[in-house]
Amino acid sequence: MEELCLTDNATTHTILRNEKYFSCLVMKEANVNTISGSTKLIEGFGKANILLPGETKFVIDDALFSSKSQRNLLSFKDIGQNGYHIETINDQNIEYLHITRVISGKKYVLKKLPAFFSELYYTSISIIETHAVVNQKFTDPNIFTIWHDQLGHPGLIMMRRIIENSHGHPLMNQKIH
């Protein structure tokens, strides 16, 4: 399911209309200031995961939830916090917004967002399937090795040795029977 999303440099937070984008959602009503004044539009907040076409993933730590909102808004702040850069370009007198990333000194354009006639840039977003959300620490296959592949099924004695030699890990404080 894809939905329209506007990128907005004037908003302080990303606002999403569908609670399925949220991996952690705290329901709490709040007011939001708009051009027409303050209104009780916000129904909750939390951590959200969204996917742009072309597999560009965003993890937004402090997104706002509002099923009453007319549209989804992606803030420039959250684009930057995900390690992406923003630049406007003019291609044959048509303005676009590029979402880019610099890797090893080379700039890559990940997404080219067109603009409405009112110069609001838009894209579509979709939900990241639950099985596709991965702890970001372990996305590098050169670093990530499953302990099971190295040890097989550890027995009680092996598990005690692992715990005794674990420094700074919560396993150290747990009892094994």
Among 85-89, 107-111, 144-148, 166-170, the minimum mean pLDDT is found in 144-148
Per-residue pLDDT band for 176 (boundaries 50, 70, 90) equals: low
Q: Which CATH class is domain 3-86+114-127?
A: mainly beta
- Mind listing the pLDDT tens digit for each residue in 35-44? 778 888 899 9
pTM of the model: 0.67
User: What is the pLDDT at residue 132?
Assistant: 45
Give me the residue spans of the domains in the chain.
Answer: 3-86+114-127, 129-165
- Inform me whether the pLDDT recorded for 137 exceeds 70: no
Q: Are 118 and 47 in contact (CB under 8 A)?
A: no
Residue with the larger pLDDT of the pair 176 and 151: 176
Report the 3 state secondary structure along the chain. Answer: CEEEEEEECCCCCCEECCHHHEEEEEEEEEEEEECCEEEEEEEEEEEEEEEECCCEEEEEEEEEECCCCCCEEEEHHHHHHCCCEEEEEEECCEEEEEEEEEECCEEEEEEEECECCCCCEEEEEEECCHHHCCCHHHCCCCCCCCHHHHHCCCCHHHHHHHHHCCCCCHHHHCCCC
- Inform me whether the pLDDT recorded for 81 exceeds 90: yes
